[in-house]
Chains A and B, each alone.
Chain A
Amino acid sequence: MIIEHLPALQVVLPLLAAPICFLIPNNRLAGLFSVLVTWVAFVISIALVMATQDGNELHYSFGGWEPPWGIEYTIDTLNSYVLLIVSGIAAVVFPYSMTSIKKEIPQSHHRLFFTSMLLCFAGLLGMTTTGDAFNLFVLLEISSLSSYTLISLGRDRRALTASFQYLIMGTIGATFILIGVGLLYALTGTLNMADLAMRISSIGESRTLQAAFTFLLVGFGLKLAMFPLHLWLPNAYAYAPSAVSAFIGATATKVAIYALLRFLFTIFGVEFSFEAMQVHWLLMPLAVMSIMFASIVAVFQDGIKKLLAYSSVAQIGYMLLGISLANATGLTATLLHLFNHALMKGGLFLILGAIAYTISSTRIDDVRGLGKAMPLTMAAFVVGALSLIGVPLTVGFISKWYLILATLEKGYWPLTVIILISSLIAVVYMWRVIEKAYFHPRPEGSPTASEAPMSLLLPAWLLISANVYFGINTDLSIGLASSAASMLMGGPN
């Protein structure tokens, strides 16, 4: 049966496709090939979601080496959900990138671009699928290295420093993760996640275990841009090519959050993470600070991409806040927001790409008058902005609703107030853009702008309408998120 091999195919397919893509002599064919790969990967992830829907787990042992000796890929409700997010976004962004890179990346680099995108995609899928702690590190490096390449492809020369900054920070993060995994291996003699979980629960108090926990927390904190380890993110998102901002912005941090969840809940266990290590008292203040500071900083940005990047830091704060509440509703909110934030930020970054394609800029001052010149593009931006703010009938509202509910369940009403205040700040920073676009005339002497090509608008609108669709029809997202949350809260088994 093919279904048995799907967990492996999900990762191996894009990984093998990457070098093949590089060998295809024609840029356009290479692009089409990579699009095809992402679409197949998307179909596979849908099949995996359906296969794990009723709580089943799929296991795949590479090379027939049984765990705990060989590398095992495990699919459960949680990671099939994350796979769906990652491959869904890829399936939209890859076709989009075929047009968007024409103006952003020199012809000679197009194949390199598609190859790196596929590698990054494979790395993210692998991190999500693998049941092996060391393998997770390897795949993390694959996705990270390719994303450094991708960011440096940006048209602005500052992309190079942004990429370098990310390289340094990302490498430090990866090293921390490696040290953490190494300590765990020294302590337990195993790298298989399920095996690790079992052995860790029987170890009592251990300095090594605590050190491993801390290293892993900081390492993933860096990768997921937890305040104050977020410094690499704004520049990386701002100067990368638009398709890369959209893809990485919508997926990379999500997968890092997933990995953090996997370690906190499955490997270390709720008891160790939240009772022995009291990790929520670390996460909560950091989450609150990222929500508040990043939102406020976003208000003062001149570039829309940077504005959205800071907003992403704030949104990551929401996800961490959900984790730190340590109840099922909070965790559901976090998982929901993985999905919802991917939709809103993916959509918004795609729109920015369409704007950049047309007027070669994404500065707030340069979008003046675009409301009239590019009505479809800017209308999509407004819908995306409403979703980011959290207006009902959009996905943003659903996430905030669950998060607020979780804070109320805990009785932490000051957190409720903080969530609401940050929503208001979101109104302020998104409205700066909208006001400029709709209520200012085009600046004198600026090139005439017209609607972006359909090949950019269509993917952007697809994600933006998903914001509305999943804001009304919440069965899928809430169903998956809540069953994954209850699985995590229920412990390793």
Chain B
Amino acid sequence: MGLMPDDLIVLALAIPLFTAAGVFLASSWPNLREGITLLGSVLLFFTVIALLPDVLAGERPSLQLAEILPGLNISFTIEPLGMLFATVAATLWPINSLYSFGYMRGNNEGNQTRFYLFFAIALSSVMGIAFAGNLITLFVFYELITLSTYPLVTHAGHAKARDAGRIYLGLLISTSIGLLLPAIIWVWYLTGTTDFVAGGILKDHINGPLLTLLAVMFIFGIGKAAVMPVHKWLPAAMVAPTPVSALLHAVAVVKAGVFSVVKVIAYIFGLEILKDAPGIDWLLGAACFTVVVASIVALQQDNLKRRLAYSTIGQLSYVVMGALILAPLSMVGAALHIVVHAFGKITLFFAAGAIYTASKKAEVSQLNGIAKRMPSTMAAFSIGALSMIALPPVAGFLSKWYLLLGASQEQQYMAMAVIVLSTLLTAGYFVPIIYAAYLKDEDAVQKRDHGEAPLLMVIALSFTACATVLLFFFPELPLALAQAVGVVTP
């Protein structure tokens, strides 16, 4: 086939959109509709994979769609970090689709067409943000993700879901328009461009406290990264059906946030000039604070999904921390963490959704002895939890290793202490669940006869669990891409 990388970029954006259109047209035939979703997700996977060899070989395929204003383009450039993010999202979409079919049918959810429709649109936006060649393109797709996931968050449609949707939209839109957009305009005003250039574009344009202010505007303006105090939307969004929480809030939305943070630090600021910004350590401190506090809050949550949500907030700030340590090695760690956390967390969410579908249990305290009834699900859950704690031989270990290496290289002892402390805290909120599930006896009162969740869901969660383990043994591909990110940020 004579497909050029340019065409592949267009395809990667268009396939999910066509899928959305197909889903809309096939709304009266559920099997056909689900078939279209699956087909679209598989096609997207192959499209993204087809881009990999070029990017690994050091090429940077790019494409300009439109020039809005002089120096302000909608354009795409694929660099290793974006490739990494796109690959993760495109790999997990088909699996998540399988899981969704099981979940949505198993729980008799309404409005399923709307669900698959916006899911596909969200995926298109994820591709857009991953391949964005400049800040303005990134911003467009960033907002599109917010808007297209809003109907997914409020899917249930009841008052609680609408309230959650309002918090979700309110926080994400107000931070992005209130802080991120002015930061972008400021960058354009200073440099006349918003292109992502390896090593940054702000050198010689800005320094001193203003530079720190700009960094603060970016870090908190990208509300999807959920650095405290801009994290409230994430637990609120957990009212969404579990497949949404799984793909969008463990992978697409939150990762779009931290991905943007890493991208801005690596390709707009550049590590060098940030090192001289006064008070930049406080920003790192904010990320460290988030890691620790989110873990402590997670300890107190009884609702399983809320516990996972707070765990996500903490894990996201690892990535922000990795970027803000400002060492190439910690950059590699940050990029890797986007991948390994995605696989680990999606496994955990899948398991939580499977438990809910099979037993209607959503609280941690109800899970005593559940491993006997749902052995595969709990095995996968344990693997995901180990990855969060970062024990070998699970993928979570890899990224933390690089984060620690980077931190020690830069002598950021605070960051190192936080990583160690939060590892203990993570163990603190996951190990009791595993303990209860395997070793405690089922409560007599809550006895309810059930077995495993629908087969499709079990297949999906087993797959991601296996992938989490395999990533530890075969990390070559993500590592190669992550190291390429580290290399371009001298």
Report B-chain residues with C-beta under 8 Å of the C-beta of A431.
Answer: 169
Partner-contacting stretch, out of A65-73, A92-100, A467-475 = A467-475
Q: Which of B139-189 contact A (CB under 8 A)?
A: 139-140, 143, 147, 151, 154, 157, 162, 165-166, 169, 173-174, 177-178, 181-182, 185-186, 189
Contact at B173–A427, with CB atoms within 8 Å? yes
Q: How far is the CA of A392 from the CA of B184 in the complex (A)?
A: 12
Contact at B69–A474, with CB atoms within 8 Å? yes
Q: Does B66 contact A (CB under 8 A)?
A: yes
Identity of the chain A residue whose Cβ is nearest the Cβ of B65 in the assembled complex: A472
Smallest CB–CB gap between A480 and chain B, Å?
15
Report A-chain residues with C-beta under 8 Å of the C-beta of B68.
Answer: 392-393, 398, 471-472, 474
Given the known inter-chain contacts A416-B182, A439-B154, A439-B165, please indicate yes or no for A401 contacting B69, CB distance below 8 A. yes
Smallest CB–CB gap between B170 and chain A, Å?
8
Smallest CB–CB gap between A410 and chain B, Å?
12
Contact at A392–B162, with CB atoms within 8 Å? no
Q: Does B74 contact A (CB under 8 A)?
A: yes
Report A-chain residues with C-beta under 8 Å of the C-beta of B72.
Answer: 401
Q: How far is the CA of A398 from the CA of B162 in the complex (A)?
A: 31
A444-487 CB contact bits vs B (8 Å, 1 = yes)? 00000000000000000000000000011110001000000000
Contact at B74–A420, with CB atoms within 8 Å? no
Q: How far is the CA of A237 from the CA of B151 in the complex (A)?
A: 32
Q: Does B136 contact A (CB under 8 A)?
A: yes
Contact at B174–A427, with CB atoms within 8 Å? yes
Q: How far is the CA of A473 from the CA of B136 in the complex (A)?
A: 15
Q: How far is the CA of A404 from the CA of B187 in the complex (A)?
A: 13
In-complex Cβ contact of A405 among B154, B157, B189 (8 A): B189
Q: Does A198 contact B (CB under 8 A)?
A: no
A386-414 CB contact bits vs B (8 Å, 1 = yes)? 10011111000010010011001000000
Smallest CB–CB gap between B213 and chain A, Å?
11
Given the known inter-chain contacts A420-B182, A431-B169, please indicate yes or no for A439 contacting B177, CB distance below 8 A. no
Smallest CB–CB gap between B53 and chain A, Å?
32
Contact at B182–A392, with CB atoms within 8 Å? no
Report B-chain residues with C-beta under 8 Å of the C-beta of A398.
Answer: 68-69
Contact at B177–A420, with CB atoms within 8 Å? yes
Contact at A408–B189, with CB atoms within 8 Å? yes
Smallest CB–CB gap between B136 and chain A, Å?
6
Q: Does A171 contact B (CB under 8 A)?
A: no
In-complex Cβ contact of B173 among A392, A424, A438, A473 (8 A): A424
Given the known inter-chain contacts A439-B157, A478-B69, please indicate yes or no for A472 contacting B74, CB distance below 8 A. yes
Report B-chain residues with C-beta under 8 Å of the C-beta of A439.
Answer: 154, 157, 162, 165
Given the known inter-chain contacts A401-B69, A405-B189, A435-B162, please indicate yes or no for A423 contacting B177, CB distance below 8 A. yes
Identity of the chain B residue whose Cβ is nearest the Cβ of A382 in the assembled complex: B147
Q: How far is the CA of A474 from the CA of B74 in the complex (A)?
A: 13
Contact at A420–B162, with CB atoms within 8 Å? no
Q: Which of B57-73 contact A (CB under 8 A)?
A: 66, 68-69, 72
Q: How far is the CA of A392 from the CA of B178 in the complex (A)?
A: 14
Smallest CB–CB gap between B28 and chain A, Å?
15
Report B-chain residues with C-beta under 8 Å of the C-beta of A438.
Answer: 151
Report B-chain residues with C-beta under 8 Å of the C-beta of A393.
Answer: 68, 74, 140
Given the known inter-chain contacts A408-B189, A471-B68, A478-B69, please indicate yes or no for A424 contacting B177, CB distance below 8 A. yes
Considering only CB atoms and an 8 Å cut-off, how many residues of chain B contact the other chain? 26
Smallest CB–CB gap between A159 and chain B, Å?
34
Report B-chain residues with C-beta under 8 Å of the C-beta of A392.
Answer: 68, 136, 139-140, 143
In-complex Cβ contact of A472 among B66, B157, B169, B185 (8 A): B66
Report B-chain residues with C-beta under 8 Å of the C-beta of A405.
Answer: 185, 189
Q: Which of A357-398 contact B (CB under 8 A)?
A: 386, 389-393, 398
Report A-chain residues with C-beta under 8 Å of the C-beta of B185.
Answer: 401, 404-405, 408
Smallest CB–CB gap between A436 and chain B, Å?
10
In-complex Cβ contact of B177 among A401, A427, A472, A478 (8 A): A427
Report B-chain residues with C-beta under 8 Å of the C-beta of A408.
Answer: 185-186, 189
Report B-chain residues with C-beta under 8 Å of the C-beta of A401.
Answer: 69, 72, 185
Question: Which one of B68, B147, B169, B189 has the greatest number of beta carbons of chain A within 10 Å?
Answer: B68
Q: How far is the CA of A393 from the CA of B139 in the complex (A)?
A: 11
Smallest CB–CB gap between A126 and chain B, Å?
34
Report B-chain residues with C-beta under 8 Å of the C-beta of A478.
Answer: 69
Question: Which one of B154, B165, B166, B173 has the greatest number of beta carbons of chain A within 10 Å?
Answer: B173
Identity of the chain B residue whose Cβ is nearest the Cβ of A441 in the assembled complex: B157
Contact at A424–B182, with CB atoms within 8 Å? no
Q: How far is the CA of A472 from the CA of B143 in the complex (A)?
A: 16
Smallest CB–CB gap between B401 and chain A, Å?
39
Report B-chain residues with C-beta under 8 Å of the C-beta of A427.
Answer: 169, 173-174, 177
Report B-chain residues with C-beta under 8 Å of the C-beta of A389.
Answer: 177
Q: How far is the CA of A474 from the CA of B186 in the complex (A)?
A: 21
Q: How far is the CA of A435 from the CA of B182 in the complex (A)?
A: 27
Q: How far is the CA of A154 from the CA of B174 in the complex (A)?
A: 38
Contact at B143–A391, with CB atoms within 8 Å? yes
Smallest CB–CB gap between A320 and chain B, Å?
21
Q: How far is the CA of A225 from the CA of B181 in the complex (A)?
A: 30
Q: How far is the CA of A91 from the CA of B142 in the complex (A)?
A: 36
Report B-chain residues with C-beta under 8 Å of the C-beta of A416.
Answer: 182
Q: How far is the CA of A390 from the CA of B169 in the complex (A)?
A: 16
Q: How far is the CA of A471 from the CA of B136 in the complex (A)?
A: 13
Question: Which one of A393, A408, A439 has the greatest number of beta carbons of chain B within 10 Å?
Answer: A439
Smallest CB–CB gap between B340 and chain A, Å?
32
Report B-chain residues with C-beta under 8 Å of the C-beta of A474.
Answer: 68-69
Question: Which one of B136, B162, B174, B181 has the greatest number of beta carbons of chain A within 10 Å?
Answer: B181
Report A-chain residues with C-beta under 8 Å of the C-beta of B74.
Answer: 393, 472
Identity of the chain B residue whose Cβ is nearest the Cβ of A409 in the assembled complex: B189
Q: How far is the CA of A424 from the CA of B177 in the complex (A)?
A: 7
Q: How far is the CA of A398 from the CA of B139 in the complex (A)?
A: 14
Report A-chain residues with C-beta under 8 Å of the C-beta of B139.
Answer: 392
Q: How far is the CA of A424 from the CA of B165 in the complex (A)?
A: 16
Q: How far is the CA of A439 from the CA of B165 in the complex (A)?
A: 10
Report B-chain residues with C-beta under 8 Å of the C-beta of A472.
Answer: 66, 68, 74
Report B-chain residues with C-beta under 8 Å of the C-beta of A473.
Answer: 66
Smallest CB–CB gap between A374 and chain B, Å?
15
In-complex Cβ contact of B182 among A386, A390, A404 (8 A): A404
Q: Which of B65-114 contact A (CB under 8 A)?
A: 66, 68-69, 72, 74
Report A-chain residues with C-beta under 8 Å of the C-beta of B178.
Answer: 420-421, 424
Smallest CB–CB gap between A343 and chain B, Å?
16
Report A-chain residues with C-beta under 8 Å of the C-beta of B186.
Answer: 408
Report A-chain residues with C-beta under 8 Å of the C-beta of B66.
Answer: 472-473
Contact at B181–A420, with CB atoms within 8 Å? yes
Report A-chain residues with C-beta under 8 Å of the C-beta of B189.
Answer: 405, 408
Identity of the chain A residue whose Cβ is nearest the Cβ of B169 in the assembled complex: A431
Q: How far is the CA of A439 from the CA of B189 in the complex (A)?
A: 40
B307-342 CB contact bits vs A (8 Å, 1 = yes)? 000000000000000000000000000000000000
Since A391-B140, A408-B189 are in contact, a sample of 16 more A-B pairs with Cβ atoms closer than 8 Å, ordered by chain A residue number, is: A389-B177, A392-B140, A392-B143, A393-B68, A398-B68, A404-B182, A405-B185, A420-B177, A420-B182, A423-B177, A424-B173, A424-B178, A431-B169, A435-B165, A439-B157, A474-B69
Nearest 10 A/B pairs, CB to CB: A392-B140, A472-B66, A424-B174, A408-B189, A427-B173, A423-B177, A404-B185, A439-B162, A420-B178, A439-B154
Q: What are 27 sample pairs from A and B whose C-beta atoms fall under 8 A apart?
A: A391-B143, A392-B68, A392-B140, A393-B68, A393-B74, A398-B69, A401-B185, A404-B182, A405-B189, A408-B185, A408-B186, A420-B178, A420-B181, A420-B182, A421-B178, A423-B177, A424-B177, A427-B169, A427-B173, A427-B174, A435-B162, A438-B151, A439-B157, A472-B74, A473-B66, A474-B68, A478-B69
B interface residue numbers (CB < 8 A to A): 66, 68-69, 72, 74, 136, 139-140, 143, 147, 151, 154, 157, 162, 165-166, 169, 173-174, 177-178, 181-182, 185-186, 189
A interface residue numbers (CB < 8 A to B): 386, 389-393, 398, 401, 404-405, 408, 416, 420-421, 423-424, 427, 431, 435, 438-439, 471-474, 478
